[in-house]
Amino acid sequence: MPAADLLDPVSLSRRIINGGELTRDEARDLFALSGEAVYDLFYAAHKVRRHFHGNRVTFCSILPTKFGNCGEDCKFCAQSGHFDTGIEAHTMMDGAEVAEACTDARNRGASAFGIVNSGRGPTKREWPKIMEAVHAMKEVDGICHCATLGTLNEEQARDLKHAGVRRINHNLETSREFYPQIVTTHAWQERVDTVRLAQRVGLETCCGSIFGMGETIEDRVSLAFSLKELNPNVVPLNFLFPITGTPLADVPRLKPMEILKIVAVMRLILPHQDLKVAGGREKNLRDLQSWIFYVGATSGLIGNYLATSGRANEEDLQMIEDLELTWNDDRVGDADPAVPHWSLVGSCRCCRDAGLARRRPERAPPPRPLPRAAAFAVRPGTARPLSWPRFRQFFLQRLSQLRRRSAPRQRRRSRRPALRLRRRRLGVGVRPAAAVARPGTRPGALGRDRSGTRLQQWLRRQSRRSWRAGPVQ
């Protein structure tokens, strides 16, 4: 490819729309863009977002059900017990508080709600409280239920799925190479394994990162392609707002244009993922918050964050209205049809009064009933009607039994003509004298004499087979 095309974001966007992909070298060049070329990058990312996602925008909300006293040493986190950040820790919330927060998030227009626990992973003592919170959250209809619980094992992941959790959040935070400079109490690969475990048990995954911790362009490229390999459903992009007391308190904050450039390049690398701009949006982007949707983002976070506060919900709703974007969400399949559903901007009263909401689309028609023949199929020897799946299972089991019974006879019958033909050509009887059992062997056993020509050895083998199979007819 010519060198000019490598630095032309618009031509790269056309290639991505047509099914192509961005290479590492191209991503490295795009991260290094400056000047007026950055606006071409923004336009290219906007074209890719419009092609794959349209004007759809979603928002989520989180609740720290367990906060602080974390044993990990993540240098960016205010909840770590290794640093004195002055936060007030609290233990697990009860189910009533979780249900109330989930209902409030739905009424404020969030399409997803997640509980967040501090710590490396849930302990045995905490697990009953976590399941209580999950069941309380599941009682709230019309919203996607998520959880951020740290490292999980397979049994815990399956329990969460069966309890109603739809999506698990577990971020990579940064690249594999830069990770040891940020966290030393656990490995980067442990995070990757947790994400893959969640995908293996059938959970959706939300996996992203934090930018602005001192990483290089090469670290950003490595992280982006690690996320591309994991292929999560949602990729949250957080931007560090240094917190007093943490080792990264003096790290310079990213400039707004640098943040927008990161979002744009991530959109070109991950064209199909839902890009969520989360932590640091208000404090780092300031007046350029609305640009995140132009440069490729499709989602955001409303309400407060874990250790910092967000802005008023009405301001985010007004921003979506001014941008003429569609507040579309993925709650329709989980909502109760008896509950009114507002899917453009949200279900809060201010949106309905402003005329910004629209009714939910019609549901798919119910499945067709089973045929009468299948519904009244009766198993032989019983009077209990069988459904079509049970009847089909019984029929296939019976068919496989008949096949197993007939298969051995066919194999024996197919071998005998060839064996008789060979022995007839050689003039061999039922048992040649060379194959007589040696003295001292058990009755009916043949000797294992290896002497003689190859023809004699072959005759012995055929005699043993014919002895087991019976006399030739």
Please spell the DSSP secondary structure of 397-458, one letter per residue. Answer: HHHHHHHHHHHHHHHHHHHHHHHHHHHHHHT--SS-GGGPPPTTSPTTPPP----S-HHHHH
pLDDT tens profile 225-238: 999 999 999 999 99
pLDDT at 280: 84
pLDDT band at 331 (very low <50, low <70, confident <90, very high): very low
Q: How far apart are CA 106 and CA 332, in angstroms?
A: 12
Please, which residues have CB within 8 angstroms of residue 296's CB and are 6 or more apart in sequence?
A: 45, 46, 48, 49, 263, 264, 266, 267, 268, 275
Which of 55-59, 163-167, 176-180, 441-445 shows the lowest per-residue confidence on average (mean pLDDT)?
441-445
Among 54-63, 66-75, 291-300, 357-366, the minimum mean pLDDT is found in 357-366
Rounded-to-integer distance, Cα 192 and Cα 171, Å: 9
Name which residue leads in pLDDT, 337 or 29: 29
Q: What is the pLDDT of residues 446-468, one digit of tens each?
A: 444 455 566 667 777 776 665 55
Confidence of residue 303 (pLDDT cuts 50, 70, 90): confident
- What integer pLDDT is reported at residue 347 of this predicted model? 35
Structure confidence at residue 314 (pLDDT) = 78
Give 95-118 pLDDT, tens digit per residue. 888 899 899 888 888 899 999 988
Select, from the ranges 93-107, 195-209, 414-428, the one with the highest average predicted confidence (pLDDT).
Answer: 195-209
Q: Dump pLDDT digits (tens) for 119-159.
A: 888 988 889 999 999 999 999 988 999 999 999 999 999 99
pLDDT value of position 190: 94
Task: Set out the domains of the chain in order of their start, with CATH numbers.
Answer: 3-332 (3.20.20.70), 369-401 (no CATH), 431-436+447-473 (no CATH)
Share of the chain above pLDDT 90, in %: 40
More confident site: 34 or 426: 34
pLDDT at position 450, please?
52
When pLDDT is averaged across residues 168-188 and rounded to a whole number, the result is 94
Question: pLDDT category, 317, cuts 50, 70, 90?
Answer: confident
For residues 432 and 304, the model is more confident at 304
Measured CA to CA, the distance from residue 156 to residue 190 in angstroms comes to 16
Per DSSP, the residues of 174-234 read: S-TTTGGGT--SS-HHHHHHHHHHHHHTT-EEE--EEE-SS--HHHHHHHHHHHHHH--SE
- Position 415 pLDDT exceeds 70: no
Higher-scoring residue by pLDDT: 29, 392:
29
* The predicted structure's pLDDT at residue 134: 92
pLDDT for res 326: 81
Neighbours of 237 (CB within 10 A): 25
CA 376 from centroid of its chain's CA atoms:
41
pLDDT top residue among 410 and 180: 180
- Model pLDDT, residue 70: 85
CA separation for the pair 220, 226 (Å, rounded): 10
From the DSSP assignment, how many helices (H) and strands (E) are in the chain?
16, 12
pLDDT at 162: 92
pLDDT at 469: 52
Note the pLDDT of residue 151: 93
Band of the pLDDT at 201, cuts 50, 70, 90? Answer: very high
**pLDDT score at 4:** 39
